[in-house]
Amino acid sequence: MSDSNNQKSDSEPSSKKIKIDHESGNNVSGIHLQLKDFILEKILNNNTNRKTVCVLGKFKDKSGVALVILEKNAFKEEDLDNEGYFSVDTELKTFFENDIYGNYECFPRSSINGIKTSIIYPATEKHIAKFSQQERHIVLETPELYQKLTLPHLEKEQFNLQWVYNILEGESEQDRIVYDNKCERDGFVLVPDLKWDGVTKETLYLLAIVRRRGLKSLRDLDHSHLPLLKRIRDEGKKKIFEKYNVPASQLRVYVHYQPSFYHLHVHFTYLRHEAPGIYVEKSHLLDTVIDNIEMKPDYYQKATLPFTIREMDNIFNIYETNGHVQRIKQDVELIDK
């Protein structure tokens, strides 16, 4: 790849995001990892609402740090029968019983009680910051702030995009591709997001990754990209209906700003699924994006766009130094008696 901004420096190790089988340790990236070899060092984030936890540690006999993300799976409706949660193998531990009410802890058979597991190894400082629990702030980014502060930062410090190019060039995850439009100008690849198991309809989550290079984010879009955006919207919805039987009216189709990686991609999620990043400070519906550009071709070059930053992000330091955000003080000031 010719773009030097997308190459890793010698000081930053390449990283692999791996979804592993928690029993066998098998993965598709050529690295054999087993959770029994993981040595916990720190809990970065325990999200009790989303039932996810991210921990930092090391694997025995391997250099570099690793992140392990564990997430409770959503209930599959097909498991709600006498062969699933109501089978003879299910055990109940009683907390209390009072008249018609009972409270228990349920232990179903192991085959329906798995935990979705992702591993990032070796993890960089950027990954550690991304998955750590920390204070967030909203920035109102004017076009001037984008050019002066945001753009120089993202060109210097964005995540490596080799994993994206591996998908687009047919070198990895080809068995996961749901749809592939090979037009280099207006084509895209539709693939399940790593946060989705690829099966459970209730948590459906796919990404449309554009084939065209050089489109980083919402800020780059103008009238020349309308055919691409409409193709993603229309063909993506059609393919999802054909494969997963989810109609267009039950799909949330949107773009993140700021995105988690700077190669243009569009999110498709089931409307009933409260996926991360669907809130107004981050999510922009694709239909609204298209409508804004049709009304004003350079809308996203002129608009003030909100986005959230976290206090461990390097870009937070840039905006703080320039007086646009203020760090929350952790120390409690004592009042003299």
Q: Is 260 annotated as a binding residue?
A: yes
Q: Is 22 annotated as a binding residue?
A: no
Q: Is 259 annotated as a binding residue?
A: yes
Q: Is 122 annotated as a binding residue?
A: no
Give the 3-state secondary structure of the chain. Answer: CCCHHHCCCCCCCCCEEEECCCCCCCCCCCCCCCHHHEEEEEEEEEECCCCEEEEEEEECCCCCCEEEEEEECCCCHHHCCCCCCCCCCCEEEEEEEECCEEEEEEECCHHHCCEEEEEEECCCHHHHHHHCCCCEEEEEECHHHHHHHHHHHHHHHCCCCHHHHHHHCCCCCHHHCCEEECCCCCCEEEEECCCCCCCCHHHCEEEEEECCCCCCCHHHCCHHHHHHHHHHHHHHHHHHHHHHCCCHHHEEEEEECCCCCCCCEEEEEECCCCCCCCCCCCEEEHHHHHHHHHHCCCHHHHCCEEEEEECCCHHHHHHHHCCCCCCCCCCCCCCCC
Q: Is 163 annotated as a binding residue?
A: yes
The burial class, CB within 10 Å (0-12 / 13-18 / 19+), for 94 is: exposed
**Helix pair 226-244, 286-295: axis angle to 10 deg:** 160
Q: Is 264 annotated as a binding residue?
A: yes
Among 153, 225, 265, 273, which one carries the catalytic annotation? 265
- Cis omega before residue 258 (within 30°)? yes
Q: Is 263 annotated as a binding residue?
A: yes
Q: Is 299 annotated as a binding residue?
A: no
Q: Is 19 annotated as a binding residue?
A: no
Q: Is 148 annotated as a binding residue?
A: no
Q: Is 59 annotated as a binding residue?
A: no
Q: Is 153 annotated as a binding residue?
A: no
Q: Is 284 annotated in the active site?
A: no
Q: Is 256 annotated as a binding residue?
A: yes
- Angstrom distance (rounded) from CA 298 to CA 316: 27
Binding residues: 163, 173, 193, 195, 256-267
Binding residues for substrate: 163, 173, 193, 195, 256-267
Residues catalogued as catalytic: 265
